[in-house]
Structure 1
Amino acid sequence: MVSIDEVARLAGVSTATVSRALSGRGHVSATAKTRVEDAAKSLGYVVSASASSLASGRRRNIGVLVPFLDRWFFSTVLSGISTSLMRRGYDITLYSLTNDAAERHAIFENFLRRQRVDGVIAISLELGEEELERLRQLDLPVIAIGGPSPRLDTLTMDDVAVARLATEHLLALGHRDIAHIGASPEFDVDFHVPTQRRQGFEQALADAGFPARPALYEPADFTIEGGFRAAKQLLGRPGERPTAIFAASDEMAIGALLAARELGYRVPEDLSVIGIDGHELGEFFRLSTVDQFPLGQGERAAAAILAEIDATVPPEDRPSRRLPYELIVRGSTARAAG
């Protein structure tokens, strides 16, 4: 087995420089770092995780709590976290946190302690008092995405403002009969994102002098299929018909586009549709959206947890806790007819 001394001799540097260059901890000049990496590669040297842990007192492992693994948003945030941490030599241990009380108790009581992680990232999860206390007892840095969570360091998205922006875009185009596809009660959990987005929608309408109408609201399940079914209800029932639809997620908005086309509506000539998220399929469907940069959320969370672990990072160099968003106008929205 190749030793760190052999790498140091080939690179012409000290073993301490090799350790700093390969671990990412401490300053190493670009030239020395390149020599070390080239030497390690040519010798087939791989840093021992256990040796690094003993030397640094760290496991180089971050625990990530996530509510869903099969939803696009969560998997995209997770991808941003994983890629960023991997670049810094960290592994992740993934915990799928369901609503099952016994499973959640086991994760906080046993698994997090057993893995001896260096920190924890919680994605869009509202933790209970007992769970928060267990995390506090671990004496580890914790970064949450979502919120606000008064007892956790949280990267927050203003979902009311995001929904207002989407709705105001439709209002600016002259739409007055605007429908909303939101969420069924079983999906309005944790930080109540669907409720906040509905509030933003209704606030924007009220401020413009057009109160929301119950007949122009339909719940769904944040999937393309759910959005398809909800849009068919909105567009197919007798009575009031919308000229625009604001869906609380891009996947539901894509479903609404497909439903509109099946029913013979031209988008955007007869019906405008906008969503929220920044889904990778949005450009393909020419979907207008408010992009909340989910991949970037994961990257920011990774940077934030590493900054907490590395106490030498000054506060001004740490990632902002307010998550950005941006209106992206494509071909699914246009001025209201007439």
Structure 2
Amino acid sequence: MSKVLTKFEHQLIEKDELSREGWEELQEVVKREKFQFKLRKKGVKLSSHIGLISLSDGTVIEILPKIYYSESKEEGRRLATLLMVNLIERNLRQLKGVAGALDLKVPFLELVMYATLLYAERKIVIPGIYRSYERQELLSRNLSGRVLVSKNLTRNPFNREKLFIERELLTADVPVNRLLLKVAELVGKRATFKKLKSLAGRIILYLKDLEVENWPTGESPGRIKLNRMNAHYEPIVELAKLLKEGRGRGRRGGAITWLYNMDFLFERLISTALPESEYQKEFSVGEGFKIRPDILFKDAVIDAKWKRVDEIPNNDCFQVISYAYLLEKRFRRPIRKPLLVYPEIESREQLTWDIRETST
């Protein structure tokens, strides 16, 4: 039976909340993910990352975004689900409704997985999975294909019953389907949500004739190229990227981590809301010195900050103003609006500055 322990960003996972084996595993996680955790006497202090830590004793530690006007798990899961779904499908039409209708007592990352796999079942598996003609070389008695003369002369000179031939075969054993199978296997193995485990099982059963390794090179999500015939697989590819990139490396003792930086998620949420924006475009401003503004949109440069502030820090202001100055003076970008964007907090007044250029 799985135990779900829910925490928020920057909270403490107390040693007493875990079994002895679970605590030892968590310490191993801290050693390999130092930038995401800090080891304390009483437990482990979290950083500004959200996600899941799945321990081999069945304990799942869910880490939610800090909600400044509310610390309810439901609010945290709703926001976290929205942020993750936003990365999987840019227009939010297919998955947002599914995820929003789910029970918010389930760990948020499993809500995202469920929404994506339910999409896969409805839009990919039930209508019929993608098939493609793949070129095959084989030694066969049936000569229904192109005989490979040179190969037969060098590797098969004495066999008169079988010849090397090349043929094209319509098959479902293609990269996008192998990736779907790998995602379903990975999700089904660690799911605590019964509906998610059952859904993953149905997809695995349907694709049981395919063979897949642990993220083989050809099916690595970053290398898969979609076309107009298999474009509907995009949410699966994006979920695979999230699972692969968020998964902790150097797995030890059975612990698996899926952790995502909140600054990154917040930036991506804003850039997705601005379809024509440029996300983290790099500019070289001198030898060995580069700038990478979070978001460029028309005549605005946007610096997104996932943090609570009572007063806007001077450092944040200087940073975004420096971006605007360099982009306009060095790269002739007409920047008129340097913008700082923070998560909304109740009762905060909107603050603005007048920036005056001096001759100094």
TM-score calculated relative to the size of structure 2? 0.25
Flag the structure with larger Rg.
Answer: 2
Whose strand proportion is higher, 1 or 2? 2
Q: Give the TM-score normalised by the residue count of structure 1.
A: 0.26
Task: Answer 1 or 2: which has greater helix percent.
Answer: 1
